[in-house]
Amino acid sequence: MSSGKLYIVGIGPGGLEHLTPKAKGIIDEAQVIIGYKTYLDLIEPLLMGKEVISSGMRQERDRCARAIGLAASGKIVALISGGDPGIYGMAGLVFELASSTPPDRLPLFEVIPGIAALNACASRLGAPLMHDFASISLSDLLTPREVIEKRLEAASAADFVIVLYNPKSKARTEQIVKARDIVLKYRHGNTPVGIVRHATRADETITITMLSKMLDNHIDMQSTVIIGNSQTFVWQGLLVTPRGYTTQVDRL
């Protein structure tokens, strides 16, 4: 096994104040930083004096392969992942690629967790994830649309709070409409919905709406949509999903 090491580092939702001390320490320690340019821009103040390798969207496989190769050559490498690397992040792809490589040609690996988008967005909306929830990506680049719709049906029928990642892009506009229609089969149109764009960043936007009017609002790839369950309510501009304690509270 190589003397190098590959850290897969989650940098959270974007603001440096939400970067964990552990992640910051690893970035400080690393000799090489590799990542998607947009994410590297978010941590630019930490990159001085580092060898930085950036690439664009849809080059994830190349990034991971290069990171593995550099670490295998003996370097300390930090592969940057937005949010948490284990939630729609880079960790899975790294290990998939590593699994086809002889063990004696691999570096050490360590995953450094980060604040996921669903955590950050939930905090901005109040407490929408206090009970069981399902996280579903609407991107069909890696998952067939039929599978996505089957998961939406199951989560909606089971009354899960639903977190939608990658809800809409310029080229992919139909899936969010279909998702809304599927959920409407099982929930009232006045079911609370929260939409957070660029959570915790300077240009953050937060929208509280309802299921029937969800699509009247701006939604794009930088947005995360949280659809409440049958018990979710709005209070003081916040989304709240009861935990299920037996004591009932009279809301004011």
Domains along the chain with CATH numbers: 5-115 (3.40.1010.10), 118-240 (3.30.950.10)
Closest among 6, 234, 164 to 98, alpha carbons compared: 6
Average pLDDT, the chain: 94
Q: Is the pLDDT of residue 67 over 70?
A: yes
Q: Is the pLDDT of residue 248 over 80?
A: no
| pLDDT tens per residue, range 1-20 | 667 999 999 999 988 999 99
Burial class (CB in 10 A: 0-12, 13-18, 19+), 145: middle
pLDDT of residue 252: 63
Q: Is the pLDDT of residue 251 over 70?
A: no
pLDDT of residue 110: 98
Give the global pTM: 0.92
| pLDDT tens per residue, range 160-185 | 999 999 999 988 999 999 999 999 99
Q: Is the pLDDT of residue 157 over 90?
A: yes
Comparing 92 with 59, the larger pLDDT belongs to: 92
Q: Is the pLDDT of residue 104 over 70?
A: yes
Q: 247 pLDDT band (50/70/90 cuts)?
A: low
Tell me how far CA of residue 81 lies from CA of 61, 84, 143, 229, in angstroms: 13, 7, 20, 30
| pLDDT tens per residue, range 182-241 | 999 999 999 999 999 999 998 999 999 999 999 999 999 999 999 999 999 999 999 999
Q: 86 pLDDT band (50/70/90 cuts)?
A: very high
Going 86 to 88 to 92 to 94, the CA torsion angle's sign is negative
Q: Is the pLDDT of residue 136 over 80?
A: yes
Q: What pairs with residue 126 in β-bridges?
A: 239
pLDDT of residue 142: 85
Task: Tell me the mean pLDDT in the region 110-124.
Answer: 98
User: Per residue, what are the HEC states of 175-206?
Assistant: HHHHHHHHHHCCCCCCCEEEEEECCCCCCCEE
CA distance 13 to 161: 21
